């Protein structure tokens, strides 16, 4: 027996699966989990509780949970070549809150980027930074190369002497110049915090930058963007003092989590095991694809930012679509053509509601096997929408292109259907 409401919900979710199979998904913060990782989400771990660290729990029943979590912590330390890992934050923002609670008191100064420069919402006064009541100060930023102004940043750091210097963006095109800032970090004795959410998979694969070898003390992250794991979070640290490690553990539990979504933690453990094998190849292809997409769009008269710098060194590109009606209009038109992306503020924008840009990420298209030649086809489809080709017509061509790219790659179940709905009844 199954009632109408349950059937209705199920049909909607199935319809979503089918729709995404026929879409070109380019939200830069999403990805597809491997089937092996997804299996963990419907395991009995989903129904259980664990509080505290493996071996020091407040509940019984965690014999296997402890083994999985300990192994996952070990794999995370190995993959990111660091000596601290905590896999309990249930999202990237929760990981960020844990860092704030561990390393800053209300009133402390934290340096960070501004939202219009691509910073994450949690760094805003109305986000997690505001909840912790820290005083945030923004770095000087060069719009032309979408990166920090090195001399200005050194000057600012010396002036405000932050307790914590925070880096990492949601429009994360180029690595921040950490090496150039390393001496200043040492001189002022600040904690260096890197929000790796967007680029975690690239770092795992040896692309973009190596934060722990460039002066970073603590890295917070979500685990489902370029790192193709579950919707979850993670903290990593290197050469922290014992008191700092304890402060992070305490901030995670009982600070900002109770139980920590054990099924997602197990899915993250599987993804770590897979990424030890596939991260290098996947990350390299992802970056090649985003640069190819930038080039092909630019050649078609679409204003991709930073042409002189090869558009990007990550999975994402930023595009100024003001001449085509602005980010809101173009993102909606693209959705009507089954191309999914988000409107995005560019540095010169003042309104988050009516921004002039869109952000395009290629990590999911790479995950289903697309390479540089397909990026040219995707660019052509995006350019046609920008130039007001009827969306219904473009949509048919989107479906045709996607038909050959519905299988998951760079994981142990290579070639299995990526958008499959697991039928239970």
Which parts of this chain interact with ligand DSN (CB under 6 A)? 29, 92, 120, 170
Query: In 3D, which of 272, 249, 321, 312 has the Cα closest to residue 54?
Result: 249
Distance of closest approach, residue 271 Cβ to ligand DSN, in angstroms: 18
Neighbouring C-alpha atoms within 13 Å toward the C-beta of 96:
27
Output the smallest distance, CB 344 to ligand DSN, in A.
9
- Closer CB to ligand DSN, 30 or 180, in the complex: 30
In DSSP terms, which residues pair with 57 in a beta bridge?
52
> For residues 250, 251, 252 and 253, what is the CA-based torsion angle, rounded to 10 degrees?
50
Least Cβ distance, residue 170 to ligand DSN (angstroms): 4
The nearer residue to ligand DSN, 184 or 363, going by C-beta atoms, is: 363
Give CA–CA dist 63/227, Å, rounded: 28
Q: How far is the CB of 51 from ligand DSN (least distance, A)?
A: 25
Could you tell me the two tokens for 307? 């042409």
What is the number of alpha carbons within 13 Å of residue 363 lying toward its C-beta? Answer: 27
- Residue sitting closest to ligand DSN (CB): 29
28 or 296: CB nearest ligand DSN: 28
Minimum gap (Å) between residue 25 Cβ and ligand DSN: 12
Task: Return the number of the residue (120 or 163) whose C-beta is nearest ligand DSN.
Answer: 120
Q: Which is nearer to ligand DSN, 62 or 222 (CB)?
A: 222
Q: For residue 314, give the H/E element and its range.
A: none
Q: Give, as one character, the DSSP assignment of residue 323.
A: G
Which stretch of DSSP H or E encloses residue 413? Answer: none
Shortest Cβ 268–ligand DSN spacing (Å): 17
For ligand DSN, the closer of residues 65 and 345 by Cβ is: 345
- Report the distance separating Cα 110 and Cα 361, nearest Å: 29
- Residue 29 or 207 having the CB closest to ligand DSN: 29
Encode 61-118 in three state secondary structure: CCHHHHHHHHHHHHHHHHHCCCCEEECCCCCHHHHHHHHHHHHCCCCCEEEECCHHHC
- Between 27 and 41, CB nearer to ligand DSN: 27
Find the shortest distance in angstroms from Cβ 56 to ligand DSN: 30
Closest of 12, 15, 32, 8 to residue 286, by C-alpha: 32
Q: Which is nearer to ligand DSN, 273 or 317 (CB)?
A: 317
CA angle 309/311/312 to nearest 5° reads 95
What residues contact residue 388 under an 8 Å CB cut-off, 6+ apart? 333
Instruction: Say how far apart CA 144 and CA 94 lie, in whole Å.
Output: 32
How near is the Cβ of 322 to ligand DSN at its closest, in Å?
21
For the bound state, the minimum distance from the C-beta of residue 28 to ligand DSN, rounded and expressed in Å, comes to 6
Tokens of 102: 């561990």
């Amino acid at each position: 027996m199954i009632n109408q409401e349950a059937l209705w919900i199920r049909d909607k979710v199935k319809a979503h699966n089918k729709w995404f199979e026929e879409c070109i998904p380019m939200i830069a913060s999403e990805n597809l989990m491997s089937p092996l990782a997804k299996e963990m989400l419907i395991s009995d771990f989903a129904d259980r509780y664990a509080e505290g660290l493996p071996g020091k729990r407040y509940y019984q029943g965690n014999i296997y949970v402890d083994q999985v979590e300990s192994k996952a912590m070990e794999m995370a330390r190995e993959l990111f070549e660091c000596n601290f890992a905590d896999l309990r934050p249930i999202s990237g923002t929760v990981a960020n809150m844990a860092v704030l609670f561990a390393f800053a008191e209300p009133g402390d100064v934290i340096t960070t980027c501004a939202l219009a420069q691509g910073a994450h919402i949690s760094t805003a006064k109305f986000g997690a930074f505001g909840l912790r009541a820290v005083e945030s100060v923004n770095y000087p930023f060069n719009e032309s190369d979408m990166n920090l102004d090195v001399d200005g940043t050194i000057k600012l750091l010396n002036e405000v002497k932050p307790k914590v210097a925070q880096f990492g963006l949601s429009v994360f095109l180029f690595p921040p110049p950490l090496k150039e800032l390393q001496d200043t970090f040492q001189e002022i004795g600040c904690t260096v915090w890197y929000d790796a959410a967007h680029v975690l998979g690239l770092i795992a694969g040896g692309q973009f930058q190596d934060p722990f070898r460039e002066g970073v003390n603590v890295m917070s992250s979500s685990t489902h963007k370029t790192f193709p794991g579950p919707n979850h979070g993670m903290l990593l640290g290197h050469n922290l003092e014992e008191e700092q490690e304890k402060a992070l553990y305490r901030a995670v539990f009982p600070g900002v989590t109770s139980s920590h979504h054990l099924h997602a933690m197990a899915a993250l453990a599987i993804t770590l095991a897979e990424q030890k094998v596939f991260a290098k190849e996947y990350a390299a292809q992802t970056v090649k694809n985003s640069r190819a997409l930038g080039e092909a769009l630019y050649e078609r008269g679409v204003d991709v930012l930073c042409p002189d710098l090869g558009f990007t060194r990550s999975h994402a590109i930023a595009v100024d679509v003001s001449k085509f009606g602005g980010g809101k209009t173009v993102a909606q038109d693209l959705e009507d053509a089954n191309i999914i992306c988000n409107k995005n503020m560019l540095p010169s924008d003042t309104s988050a509601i009516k921004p002039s840009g869109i952000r395009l990420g290629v990590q999911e298209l790479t995950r289903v096997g697309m390479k540089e030649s397909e990026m040219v086809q995707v660019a052509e489809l995006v350019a046609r929408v920008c130039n007001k080709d009827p969306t219904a017509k473009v949509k048919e061509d989107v479906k045709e292109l996607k038909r050959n790219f519905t299988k998951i790659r760079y994981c142990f179940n290579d070639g299995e259907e990526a958008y499959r709905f697991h039928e239970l009844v």
